[in-house]
Amino acid sequence: MRLRPSALLRFYSLCGLLIQAAATKNKVKGSQGQFPLTQNVTVVEGGTANLTCRVDQNDNTSLQWSNPAQQTLYFDDKKALRDNRIELVRASWHELSISVSDVSLSDEGQYTCSLFTMPVKTSKAFLTVLGVPEKPQISGFTSPVMEGERMQLTCKTSGSKPAADIRWFKNDKEIKDVKYLKEEDANRRTFTVSSTLDFRADRSDDGVVVSCRVDHESLNSTPQIARQVLEIHYTPSVKIISSSSWPEEGQSIVLTCESKGKPLPEPVLWTKDGGELPDPERMVVNDPNALAGQTGPDHALIGGIVAVVVFVTLCSIILLGRYLARHKGTYLTNEAKGAEDAPDADTAIINAEGSQVNAEEKKEYFI
């Protein structure tokens, strides 16, 4: 079969397009498979950085890692730089992974993975090292502060990279209007950050906790916080509270003097029309309404004790009376016996005593 020239031209064009498309596809696939792939790495100072270089397709071509100074770290599985912090993680035709432990700020920079094809293909990975901010300190507070005085509190932290952020709080409420200053240390490439809180002391600030919070990406969402408890002194305020708004004549009332200040006010002195009044405590005691609310001694207990004492006393009197009465009767009987033949009372007593002696002698005689 013989084709027309126009049809033959179209056939050759179609074949050329198919061949070109296939060649382009193979070229792209080959270039992608032979190109090293890396990723940027961020690590906190003192931590460990893992650098990985991968190749999808590799026909036994060597891989190499170099540091920012273009010093070879590893060539395939062979260590080239004597640094104990650098270790091999994995080495194959498709991957070369290494680790750098105890990373310092000086390790930051651009690392290079090289694939030794013709020509050599490279891929860059930037290692970012974060400087951890030091614990913040609050300065400028001298306790106590008088109400109305201006206060300037400064919060400061050093060693952050990049610069840390400082926020102020009174209890749990954030304060927005503050001054912020950062200074860079050129040698270490870190920042010293400070913030100043300026306000006038008020009695409502007494006992308030002022917090300085430092936020930084190296802290893993756990901010560092410094706290300061404020102590504000202020003049006392005084008011009198009455137990009755409109007392009637003859009615008792209680007046309470309520004072508040820091430091605590001195004891209250009552006056009336310029003259001193009795002790306020005695005034309250004489007030029957005040007595009703006061706690006193247990009267039932006291009454019981008094009753026991009276009972014991009465019993003692009765026993003593009976004893005296018995001895008095004996005396009169003896005296009567001796008085029968006695001319006077003295002789009667002597006779009575003698009769007792005689009785005892008689008793011995009969025995």
Burial of 339 (0-12, 13-18, 19+ CB in 10 A): middle
b (16+ CB within 10 A) / e for 51-82: bbbbbeebeebebbbbbeeeeebbbeeeeeee
Single out the residue of 125, 153, 120 nearest to residue 139, CA to CA. Answer: 153
pLDDT digits (tens, 9 = 90+) for 89-136: 999 989 999 999 999 999 999 999 999 988 999 999 999 999 999 999
Residues with Cβ within 8 Å of residue 136, at least 6 apart in sequence: 155, 156, 157, 166, 212, 214, 224, 225, 226
Please check the confidence at residue 241 and state whether its pLDDT lies above 50. yes
pLDDT digits (tens, 9 = 90+) for 303-321: 778 888 888 888 888 888 7
Report the C-alpha gap between 19 and 15 in whole angstroms: 6
In sign, the C-alpha dihedral spanning 66, 72, 77, 81 is negative
Q: In terms of pTM, does the model score above 0.75?
A: no
Report the C-alpha gap between 195 and 192 in whole angstroms: 10
Q: Are 200 and 149 in contact (CB under 8 A)?
A: yes
Confidence bin at 21 (pLDDT 50/70/90):
very low
Residues with Cβ within 8 Å of residue 99, at least 6 apart in sequence: 48, 49, 50, 51, 86, 87, 89
